[in-house]
């Protein structure tokens, strides 16, 4: 019932802000066009004084955090959206309407278990910034450090639960009825997103993520992550170091400060690849509202990352698969790309590699040796999706966050330095990573890591080898016994199958006879009785 009410809310917001204005009705089939023209929301006139872009932003805010995050992702793709729409949606990054200061104060005091005045020498009641999940207030600890206090919005969990339930219902319908439903694995994608969004509601988890990311880039000139003050962290309240920098989206101010935009863009790519391949731990919410540039040295600019509520991790297998695929792409080795896809199980083992190779070449060849300004990952992903449909390629839910982060990275790159050659920037790093992974140093490092375990098990090795040899010696006899058992089972199954057939014949004969007894006009009484007796006899003899 709650899902139905939420669905009505979605329809109401859709109607109130006339979001059908964003749908290209003329491109739809005639029956869908007719449905749109007869839809009840057309009784509500389009607000003429409210710009189209603002209507979309207000609708996303009204619908809640899941939809706000969708708007944040769209706002980074200025190459795919009209300028007015991208600028309006950019306000969702840190300009979501805040909740009341007294509510924030109550949540902080209840969470920390003491009055604000006993913790902070200064506390700003009005929010410094406000986003979809939480808002932050500036403050100063009694010990003198400038900090920000992050507070989770009240009553979010119920709304998110309803939205996830609706998304899950839609995913199940899609998986069951849509042509590509099973291949796209929408239920798994929604399940992963559910874990992600609820992870953002736990600020203790975010604090742990921030600490890990800070440790990964300790003393790094590339990235700075603010310090977390663990004594003042709770599931709905977090206190961390306040940072001072220029928002990454404020390109005019960055240029005014003399920032080397080429270096800034290249360092952004390097940070991403270090997180994914060196650490297997990457910030997965890199929209412009969460990224700043430090003021210390404009010629070698340092990034500052905040809001680590969403992070992604990859297994060693995923890391290796991605690195090999990307290097094959960079080297335009489409045969290797196709082979890796088949080997990993992303496409069926019966896929003809040569055909798949040709399809990938037609998608990827146009993008090489072009600056970022002329390459759209959005369009590339769309064409790869179309190619995937031909070969039944399955969506990999564990990589959804990585794909989302790649879209954010591209959006930032376009803003900062459109001439950035993403391929030549990333390729040397990936080659070095592969060398470190499979080169002599990597082998020696792995030997040192495994040595303690080998030494521990060394005294037991002779006995283990002896038992293995004995088992191998008995293998032929065990195979013969197993074969005899399988033959006996097969014979029993055949006998049972014959009995079932005989029973079926007896039941059918008896049924026909009983029908004849009740309907003598079908055949004679004596013939019907004969069928009944024959069927019963068959069952008695063959059962």
Nearest-CA neighbor of 72 among 133, 151, 6?
133
Q: What local confidence, expressed as pLDDT, does residue 514 receive?
A: 47
Helix (H) or strand (E) holding 147: strand 146-152
- Mean pLDDT value across residues 400-408: 74
Q: What local confidence, expressed as pLDDT, does residue 79 receive?
A: 55
Q: Where are the domains of the chain?
A: 2-92, 247-438, 444-473, 491-542
Sort strands 282-283 and 120-123 into parallel, antiparallel or unpaired.
unpaired
Weakest mean pLDDT among 94-98, 215-219, 275-279, 524-528: 524-528
Query: Does residue 285 have an active-site annotation?
Result: yes
Q: 90 with 68: CB under 8 angstroms? A: no
DSSP symbol at 19: G
- Mean pLDDT value across residues 494-501: 64
The residue ranking higher by pLDDT, 304 or 533, is 304
The residue ranking higher by pLDDT, 469 or 269, is 269
Name the active-site residue from 285, 307, 320, 487.
285
- Mean pLDDT value across residues 439-455: 63
Q: What does the longest C-alpha to C-alpha distance in the chain come to?
A: 109
- pLDDT for 394 beyond 60: yes
Q: What local confidence, expressed as pLDDT, does residue 289 receive?
A: 81
> Collapsing DSSP states into helix, strand and coil, what is residue 347?
coil
Nearest-CA neighbor of 91 among 48, 126, 56, 136?
56
Q: 289 with 72: CB under 8 angstroms? A: yes
Q: What local confidence, expressed as pLDDT, does residue 196 receive?
A: 74
Q: 382 with 172: CB under 8 angstroms? A: no
- pLDDT for 320 beyond 80: yes
**How do residues 500-512 score in pLDDT, each as one tens digit?**
555 555 555 455 4
Taking each helix axis from N to C terminus, what angle separates 186-200 and 65-75, rounded to the nearest 10 degrees? Answer: 100
Nearest-CA neighbor of 18 among 48, 7, 3?
48
Radius of gyration of the chain (CA): 32
Q: What local confidence, expressed as pLDDT, does residue 378 receive?
A: 57
Helix (H) or strand (E) holding 138: strand 134-141
- Mean pLDDT value across residues 308-328: 83
- Give the C-alpha separation, 439 to 292, whole Å: 36
- Give the C-alpha separation, 128 to 98, whole Å: 9
Q: What local confidence, expressed as pLDDT, does residue 450 receive?
A: 62
**How do residues 277-302 score in pLDDT, each as one tens digit?**
889 899 988 878 889 999 988 999 99
Q: What local confidence, expressed as pLDDT, does residue 149 receive?
A: 97
């Amino acid at each position: 019932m709650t899902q139905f009410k939420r669905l009505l809310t979605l329809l109401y917001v859709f109607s109130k802000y006339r979001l059908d204005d964003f749908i290209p009705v003329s491109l739809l089939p005639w029956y869908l066009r007719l449905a749109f023209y007869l839809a009840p929301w057309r009784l509500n006139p389009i607000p003429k004084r409210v710009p189209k872009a603002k209507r979309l932003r207000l609708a996303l805010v009204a619908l809640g955090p899941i939809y706000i995050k969708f708007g944040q992702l769209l706002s980074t793709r200025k190459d795919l959206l009209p300028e007015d729409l991208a600028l309006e949606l950019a306000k969702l990054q840190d300009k979501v309407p805040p909740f009341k200061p007294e509510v924030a104060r109550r949540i902080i005091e209840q969470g920390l278990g003491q009055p604000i005045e006993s913790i902070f020498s200064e506390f700003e009641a009005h929010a410094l910034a406000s986003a979809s999940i939480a808002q932050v207030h500036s403050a100063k600890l009694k010990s003198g450090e400038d900090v920000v206090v992050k507070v989770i919005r009240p009553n979010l969990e119920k709304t998110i639960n309803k939205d996830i339930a609706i998304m899950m219902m839609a995913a199940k319908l899609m998986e069951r009825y849509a042509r590509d439903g099973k291949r796209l694995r929408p239920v798994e994608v929604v399940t992963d997103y559910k874990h992600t969004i609820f992870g953002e509601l736990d600020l203790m988890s975010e604090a742990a993520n921030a600490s890990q990311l800070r440790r990964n880039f300790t003393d790094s000139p590339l990235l700075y992550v603010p310090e977390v003050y663990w004594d003042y962290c709770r599931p709905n309240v977090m206190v961390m170091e306040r940072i001072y920098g220029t928002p990454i989206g404020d390109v005019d101010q960055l240029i005014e400060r003399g920032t080397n935009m080429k270096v800034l863009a290249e360092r952004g790519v390097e940070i991403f690849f270090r997180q994914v391949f060196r650490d297997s731990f990457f910030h997965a919410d890199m929209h412009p509202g969460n990224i700043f540039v430090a003021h210390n040295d404009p010629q070698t600019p340092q990034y500052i990352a905040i809001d680590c509520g969403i992070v992604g991790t990859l297994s060693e297998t995923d890391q290796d698969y991605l690195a090999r695929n990307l290097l094959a792409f960079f080297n335009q080795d489409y045969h290797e790309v196709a082979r890796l896809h088949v080997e990993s199980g992303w496409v069926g083992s019966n896929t003809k590699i040569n055909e798949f190779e040709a399809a990938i070449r037609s998608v990827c060849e146009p993008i090489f040796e072009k600056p970022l300004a002329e390459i759209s990952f959005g369009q590339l992903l769309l064409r790869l999706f179309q190619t995937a449909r031909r070969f039944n390629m399955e969506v990999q839910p564990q990589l959804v966050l990585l794909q989302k982060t790649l879209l954010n990275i591209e959006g930032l790159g376009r803003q900062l330095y459109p001439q950035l050659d993403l391929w030549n920037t990333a390729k040397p790093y990936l080659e070095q990573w592969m060398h470190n992974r499979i080169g002599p140093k990597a082998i020696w490092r792995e030997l040192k890591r495994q040595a303690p375990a080998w030494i521990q098990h060394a005294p037991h090795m002779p006995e283990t080898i002896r038992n293995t040899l004995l088992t191998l010696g008995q293998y032929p006899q065990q195979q013969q016994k197993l074969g005899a058992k399988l033959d006996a089972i097969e014979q029993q199954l055949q006998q049972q199958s014959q009995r079932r057939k005989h029973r079926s014949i007896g039941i059918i004969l008896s049924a026909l006879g009983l029908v004849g007894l009740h309907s003598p006009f079908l055949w004679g009484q004596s013939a019907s009785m004969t069928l009944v007796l024959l069927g019963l006899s068959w069952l008695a003899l063959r059962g």
